[in-house]
Structure 1
Amino acid sequence: MPTLLNMPDLALRLIMEKLDYLSVQCLRKLCIDLRKSIFRINPESTLSVFQMDLSCDSIITTLRFKDRTIKITYQKHETGCLIKWTGANGKMMQDSDYVKMALHDAQLLLDSKNSGALDRFSFSTEDKSEDISTFLERFESYLTSRNKPLKVEYFSMHVSSQNHILNVFPFMNPTEIQTLDMAFFKDNGEKLEDAVLEKIVKSEQWKNAKELQSAKLFRDTPLPNLKHFKKLYLENTTLTTDMVVELKEVGFNVIQ
């Protein structure tokens, strides 16, 4: 009788494609040989939305698959990391760091996207703590180590530090991004530093995007860097008559 261990790769791949991500991960734990086979095949995940909300003592990952949405919370604890997820009791991981645990799982999840693009990729944090900076620096290292840049259609980052944007945005696949949504978590009138703005607007990710949302962050961006967008939302921006004319000439419907 054939088993998963002696099936040809094509048959095993077809079976893997019928399973959701969590079921595949359960199979990985059955035995080393099966884990190696799944690693070799690397089945494509139905993951469509990947969202992380980071704070100084917890990281919440929200995942949307074809048939379910899952929320996982990694809670900092004095003895380790408390992990909670949708539909299950929490589990205490003794002597484990919540940043490392969340990062490890994030890598596994994103590695499951082999060829397809995420519908939405979202990061949100109002915190500037050392833990958050450490997470994003390590996440940047992961992104740069990928064989292929991560494909994302809707890219969203709401952060408190300008450098956090540069930890992630430049390492997305530049040909897949359709919509950009970047902002500071709290609007205190802070502007992007010239060096940060220059890196963003000169990137291929920026140049290839079709739509810019929540663009208060870019209200002082020189107009030539905005004209390629098909749809543009600018808030609290003072437009001169010449700017309005120029925007209308390239097809924008300007509402003041």
Structure 2
Amino acid sequence: MPSLLEMPDLVMNLILSKSDFRSILVLRKVCRDLRNFIDDAEPDLQIRSMEILTVPSKQNNPEISVFFVTKYREHHHILYRKHKSGCQEVCGKRRILMKNSDYLETFFEDMNWIFKHQKSILKFFGFNLTSQLSEVLEVLKKHPMKMTHLRVTADKSQIFEILHSTSPEFLKIAELYFVRPGEVSIQELEDLKCWKSLEEFYTENLVILGSVMNLGHFSKALVTILQVTQEELFVMKEKFLNSPKFQKFVVHYKHFGEEGISDWGRDIHEFRKLLEIFGAPNVDGGRYGKKKWYFRIPNSEDVLCFSFCRQHSEFIRLPLSSIPERAI
């Protein structure tokens, strides 16, 4: 029986087309000739989603886990572990010890190959850009991937580098978790090529400097703004009432304030302004509780619920049947 290397190219290409990416990754490590053939063939890995996680050091054996889902919804897990003799790679029940190999170098070599050969669009890509994984950023910049949903934990500069490295026409959902508290201007966000095409936008540990009205094009969002006025909230309400794609928008903020006004006086002042702009609430949660307003959405069986409290406001689209009786 001929070995893999003795088979005709047509047969080898057929084998590759029927193999999942994990099998191809293993085949690349059999020998140099097989690796060269696979790299020349450039098979599409057809990965559906991918997530990279670091595991805290256990007895000085740090690990990196990579989770994949293929287009056939098969789940795979590859673990790269530092070993006293080199790198231990765990794929399901299969354990491979690569002597005299560094686990980080092995991981980055595989990632570089995967990023290069992933031609189809990733439905989801997530990772924590720790100090161990900082080189992933360079791999992403070298081989930008098409992805629909990005979830990343990193510092501000790294997150913006990643956003600038993604294909803007495909990215629809961005979950950005900043490792240190920071600020960003609306202008910096609007300068991103993906900004206008994003449909969902979630941030944590980030304060946005500017008007909340610049964020009204999302179907879903969770953000923190330095300051929000009642007038701006009213404009957002009008935007969402006329947006067929709108679902949910949550905005946190440093409470509206005026110099020289006590907290108690500020509460009265702000609530009076809300009453002037929005009318009496349908649900009044008291001084510190949520106040809710319901508005019928034109040409729809849904309702826009606006909730307000001291540190955040929420707009959410709800079916009319879920609204308390006689609320509107």
Fold conserved between structures, TM > 0.5: yes
Report the AA paired with residue 18 of structure 2.
Answer: K
Does residue 220 of structure 1 match 2:208? yes
Cα distance change on mapping 1:152 and 1:221 into 2, 3 Å: farther
Does residue 72 of structure 1 match 2:72? no
Does residue 143 of structure 1 match 2:164? no
| Matches for 1:187-202 after TM superposition, within 5 Å | 190-192=181-183, 199-202=188-191
**SS of residue in 1 equivalent to 2:177:** strand
Report the AA paired with residue 232 of structure 1.
Answer: A
Identical aligned residues as a percent: 21
Aligned equivalent of 1:88: 94
Residues 81-130 of structure 1 show CA distances to partners (whole Å, capped at 9, x for unaligned) of 333332223x443333332222111122222312x1101000125x5xxx
Provide the rounded CA distance (Å) in 1 between the counterparts of 2:74 and 2:139: 26
Q: Which has the higher strand share?
A: 2
Q: Which has the higher helix share?
A: 1
Does residue 211 of structure 1 match 2:200? yes
RMSD: 3.3
Deviates more, 1:168-177 or 1:219-228: 219-228
- Using the TM superposition, give the Cα deviation of residue 151 of structure 1 relative to its aligned residue in structure 2, in angstroms: 0.2
Which structure has the higher relative contact order (CA within 8 Å, separation 6+)?
A: 1
Report the AA paired with residue 138 of structure 2.
Answer: S
Find the structure with the greater CA-based Rg: 2
Cα distance change on mapping 1:238 and 1:145 into 2, 3 Å: closer
**SS of residue in 1 equivalent to 2:136:** helix
Aligned equivalent of 1:63: 68
Provide the rounded CA distance (Å) in 1 between the counterparts of 2:82 and 2:38: 31
- Using the TM superposition, give the Cα deviation of residue 55 of structure 1 relative to its aligned residue in structure 2, in angstroms: 5.1
Does residue 157 of structure 1 match 2:152? yes
Provide the rounded CA distance (Å) in 2 between the counterparts of 1:21 and 1:232: 34
Residues 174-210 of structure 1 show CA distances to partners (whole Å, capped at 9, x for unaligned) of 110010111135xx8x22356xx75444211233211
Report the AA paired with residue 122 of structure 2.
Answer: L
Q: Scaled by the length of structure 2, what TM-score is found?
A: 0.60
Report the AA paired with residue 191 of structure 2.
Answer: K
Of residues 226, 232, 244 in structure 2, which corresponds to 1:243?
Answer: 232
- Using the TM superposition, give the Cα deviation of residue 77 of structure 1 relative to its aligned residue in structure 2, in angstroms: 4.2
Unaligned segments of structure 1, at least 5 residues: none
Q: Is the 8 A contact 2:108 2:136 kept in 1?
A: yes
Unaligned segments of structure 2, at least 5 residues: 57-61, 241-245, 247-303, 308-312, 314-328
Cα distance change on mapping 1:77 and 1:18 into 2, 3 Å: closer
Aligned equivalent of 2:118: 113
Paired positions, count: 236
Q: Scaled by the length of structure 1, what TM-score is found?
A: 0.75
Does residue 40 of structure 1 match 2:28? no
